[in-house]
C-alpha cells in the first residue's frame, strides 16, 4: 500500500532512543517536516534536553513544543476519573491510560496550530497505547493522518534500532544503568513491563521499584493525614489548600514514604493478549481510599450502588481508549452529578503499605447518629420494620400459596427405600454421590 503524501507531522517525542529514531525515520520515509511535542506530565525526568536533541536532528526551533501539562492532567483527567473510583479489573488505577487522551488532544491542537496534516506516535502494534492515541486523534480530527512506525518498519528489535541510530548519527545516551524494563511514568504512576516480568510467576527484584519504599523498610510508626474534599475533588491536605497537581505530588510523597501503592497484575489488553505489569500509584491509592470514605457519608444508598455498577464500564472505556467517546462523557455527567454534595474531611493512617481510614466528617453528611444508635432513641420506631419486611416478602407469600411446588423440596429416601437398595460396598464419598443423585433425579 502506497504511503499517503504527508507534508508535516506532529510527533509525540520524548527525546529517547525510540522517538529519536522515529523522528529521523519520518524525515527519510515520508520526506515530511516534523514538529516535536514533549509533554511534561510530572514523570520526574527533565524534558528540556528533548529540545537540544530535536535541534540536533534538524528540527526548527519554532517546531519544538515542550509543554508543562501537570495541572491540566490532574484537574481535567485524573480528578474526574477518581470521582468515579475507577479501577480496571479490580486493581489497576489506569495511570498510563488516563494520560493518553491529554497527549492526543495536545498533538491535535499543535497540528492545527502549525498546519500539520499528520500525527505520529511511538506505540507498538502489540499494546493498548496505539488504540488510545489513535481513537483520541480521530475523535478530535476525523481527517488527520496517523503514522504508527512500529506497524510499518522492520526495526523490530533493539539491535536493529541501535544499528539504525548508529547509521544515521543519532546520539545514544549510555550514561548510567539502563533499566531492563519498559516503563511509563507520570504524576499518577510509574509502570514496569517486559524482561523477567514476562514470566507471570517470577517475583520482581526489589530494586525494580523506583518510587516507593518497601513496606518492610517503611517507617515503624504510622502517620496521620487529613484530606479535605469539595464536590468530589481533594482541595487540601492537613488544612493546607493546594492546586490539583500539588495535592497529587504531596500524596505521592506520603505514599512513597510508607510503601503504599505497589501492585503486580496480569491484565487483559484490549488488543487481545494478557500482559503482566507492575505499577506504583502511591498518591492515587491514598486518594481512592479517601474518596470512597467521604462518599460513604455523603451519597445516598441507591446513588452509591448505581455508581458502583457503572464504574467497571467507565474504567474499561478509559483503559480501552474511549475517553473522548459520547458514552464516557455521558457517564461522566452522571458521575459528576453525584459529587455535588461530596465534601468534608477524611482522616487516614498510613502504615507499611496500608491506607487505613480512621475518621470522616461532612457538613452535609447523611449519617444520622440518632437513627443508627444502639442506645435508646426517639426518631426510629422499630415496630415499623415488621410492615417493611412483610411488604417486601409479599410476593414470596403469594407465590408460596399459589405455586407451592415452585421451590423444589429435598426428598430424603425413607428407611425402607434405603434398605431396598443393593448392599454394595461403597466408600463414604460414593455414598454421598449416590444420595445426591437420588435427591436431584
- What local confidence, expressed as pLDDT, does residue 293 receive? 98
- 260 inside domain: yes
- 281 inside domain: yes
Catalytic residue check, 129: yes
Q: Given a cut of 50, is residue 404 above it in pLDDT?
A: yes
Q: Are residue 199 and residue 171 in the same domain, yes or no? A: no
Number of domains in the chain: 2
Q: 324-363: b or e for each residue (b if 16 or more CB lie within 10 Å)?
A: beeebeebbeebeebbebbbbbbbbebbbbbbeeeebebe
Catalytic residue check, 425: no
Q: Are residue 240 and residue 115 in the same domain, yes or no? A: no
Q: Are residue 193 and residue 142 in the same domain, yes or no? A: no
Options 129, 141, 184, 233, the catalytic residue: 129
From 334, 367, 400, give the residue that closes a domain: 367
Q: Are residue 134 and residue 26 in the same domain, yes or no? A: yes
- 414 inside domain: no
Options 40, 83, 97, 100, the catalytic residue: 100
- 335 inside domain: no
Domain CATH code at residue 103: 3.40.50.620
- What local confidence, expressed as pLDDT, does residue 176 receive? 46
Options 76, 182, 264, 308, the catalytic residue: 182
What is 278-338 written as a DSSP string? Answer: EEE-HHHHHHHHHHHHHHHHHS-HHHHHHHHHHHHHHHHHHHHT-TTSHHHHHHHHHHHHH
127-137 pLDDT, tens digit per residue, is 999 999 999 99
From 150, 178, 206, give the residue that closes a domain: 178
Residue 320 contacts by C-beta under 8 Å, 6 or more apart in sequence?
Answer: 128, 131, 132, 270
Q: Are residue 129 and residue 213 in the same domain, yes or no? A: no
Q: Given a cut of 90, is residue 42 above it in pLDDT?
A: yes
| CA–CA dist 120, 29 (Å, integer) | 13
Catalytic residue check, 207: no
Q: Are residue 128 and residue 195 in the same domain, yes or no? A: no
- 84 inside domain: no
- 384 inside domain: no
| CA–CA dist 31, 6 (Å, integer) | 8
Q: Are residue 262 and residue 172 in the same domain, yes or no? A: no
Catalytic residue check, 372: no
259-317 pLDDT, tens digit per residue, is 999 999 999 999 999 999 999 999 999 999 999 999 999 999 999 999 999 999 999 99
228-254 pLDDT, tens digit per residue, is 999 999 999 999 999 999 999 999 999
| Run of H or E including 276 | strand 274-280
8-state DSSP, 340: T
- 416 inside domain: no
Q: Are residue 34 and residue 105 in the same domain, yes or no? A: yes
Which ranges in 299-441 belong to alpha helices (H)?
A: 301-320, 326-338, 369-372, 384-402, 415-420, 428-440
| CA–CA dist 431, 106 (Å, integer) | 70
Helices 326-338 and 301-320 sit at what angle, rounded to 10 degrees? 150
CA 91 to chain centroid, in Å, comes to 8
- 425 inside domain: no
Q: Are residue 355 and residue 212 in the same domain, yes or no? A: yes
Which ranges in 57-175 belong to alpha helices (H)?
A: 70-73, 79-83, 100-114, 129-140, 158-167
| Run of H or E including 54 | helix 49-56
Q: Are residue 206 and residue 235 in the same domain, yes or no? A: yes
In terms of C-beta density within 10 A (0-12 exposed, 13-18 middle, 19 or more buried), how is residue 375 classed? exposed
Residue 360 domain boundaries: 183-299+342-367
Q: Given a cut of 60, is residue 425 above it in pLDDT?
A: no
Q: Are residue 261 and residue 155 in the same domain, yes or no? A: no
- What local confidence, expressed as pLDDT, does residue 30 receive? 95
Options 18, 40, 141, 233, the catalytic residue: 18
335-372 pLDDT, tens digit per residue, is 999 999 999 999 999 999 999 999 999 999 999 888 77
Domain CATH code at residue 242: 3.90.1260.10
Q: What pLDDT band is residue 16 in, cutting at 50, 70 and 90?
A: confident
70-92 pLDDT, tens digit per residue, is 999 999 999 999 999 999 999 99
Q: Are residue 219 and residue 281 in the same domain, yes or no? A: yes
Amino acid at each position: 500500500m502506497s504511503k499517503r503524501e504527508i507534508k508535516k507531522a506532529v510527533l509525540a517525542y520524548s527525546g529517547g532512543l525510540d522517538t529519536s529514531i522515529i523522528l529521523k525515520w519520518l524525515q527519510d520515509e515520508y520526506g515530511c517536516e516534523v514538529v516535536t511535542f514533549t509533554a511534561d506530565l510530572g514523570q520526574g525526568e527533565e524534558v528540556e534536553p528533548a529540545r537540544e536533541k530535536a535541534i540536533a536532528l534538524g528540527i526548527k526551533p519554532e517546531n519544538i513544543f515542550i509543554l508543562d501539562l501537570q495541572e491540566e492532567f490532574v484537574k481535567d483527567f485524573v480528578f474526574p476519573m477518581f470521582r468515579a473510583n475507577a479501577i480496571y479489573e479490580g486493581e489497576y488505577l489506569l495511570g498510563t491510560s488516563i494520560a493518553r487522551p491529554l497527549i492526543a488532544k495536545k498533538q491535535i491542537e499543535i497540528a492545527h496550530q502549525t498546519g500539520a496534516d499528520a500525527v505520529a506516535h511511538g506505540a507498538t502494534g502489540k499494546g493498548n497505547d496505539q488504540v488510545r492515541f489513535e481513537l483520541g486523534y480521530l475523535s478530535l480530527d476525523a481527517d488527520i493522518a496517523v503514522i504508527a512506525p512500529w506497524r510499518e518498519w522492520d526495526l523490530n528489535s533493539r539491535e536493529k534500532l541501535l544499528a539504525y541510530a548508529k547509521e544515521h548519527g543519532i546520539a545514544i545516551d549510555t550514561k548510567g544503568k539502563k533499566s531492563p524494563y519498559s516503563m511509563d511514568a507520570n504524576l499518577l504512576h510509574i509502570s514496569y513491563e517486559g524482561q523477567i516480568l514476562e514470566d507471570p510467576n517470577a517475583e520482581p527484584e526489589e530494586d525494580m521499584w523506583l518510587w516507593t519504599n518497601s513496606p518492610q523498610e517503611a517507617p515503624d510508626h504510622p502517620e496521620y493525614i487529613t484530606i479535605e474534599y469539595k464536590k468530589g475533588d481533594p482541595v487540601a491536605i492537613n488544612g493546607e489548600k493546594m492546586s490539583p497537581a500539588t495535592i497529587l505530588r504531596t500524596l505521592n510523597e506520603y505514599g512513597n514514604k510508607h510503601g503504599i501503592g505497589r501492585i503486580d497484575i496480569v491484565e487483559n489488553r484490549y488488543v487481545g493478549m494478557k500482559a503482566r505489569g507492575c505499577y506504583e500509584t502511591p498518591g492515587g491509592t491514598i486518594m481512592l481510599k479517601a474518596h470512597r470514605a467521604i462518599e460513604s457519608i455523603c451519597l445516598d444508598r441507591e446513588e452509591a450502588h448505581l455508581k458502583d455498577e457503572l464504574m467497571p464500564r467507565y474504567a474499561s472505556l478509559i483503559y480501552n481508549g474511549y475517553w473522548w467517546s459520547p458514552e464516557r462523557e455521558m457517564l461522566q455527567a452522571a458521575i459528576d452529578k453525584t459529587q455535588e454534595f461530596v465534601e468534608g474531611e477524611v482522616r487516614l493512617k498510613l502504615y507499611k503499605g496500608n491506607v487505613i481510614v480512621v475518621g470522616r466528617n461532612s457538613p452535609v453528611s447523611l449519617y444520622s447518629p440518632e437513627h443508627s444508635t444502639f442506645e435508646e432513641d426517639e426518631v426510629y420506631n422499630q415496630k415499623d420494620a415488621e410492615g417493611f419486611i412483610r411488604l417486601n416478602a409479599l410476593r414470596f407469600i403469594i407465590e408460596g400459596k399459589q405455586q407451592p411446588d415452585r421451590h423444589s423440596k429435598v426428598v430424603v429416601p425413607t428407611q425402607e427405600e434405603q434398605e431396598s437398595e443393593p448392599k454394595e460396598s461403597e466408600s463414604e464419598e460414593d455414598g454421598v454421590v449416590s444420595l445426591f443423585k437420588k435427591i436431584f433425579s
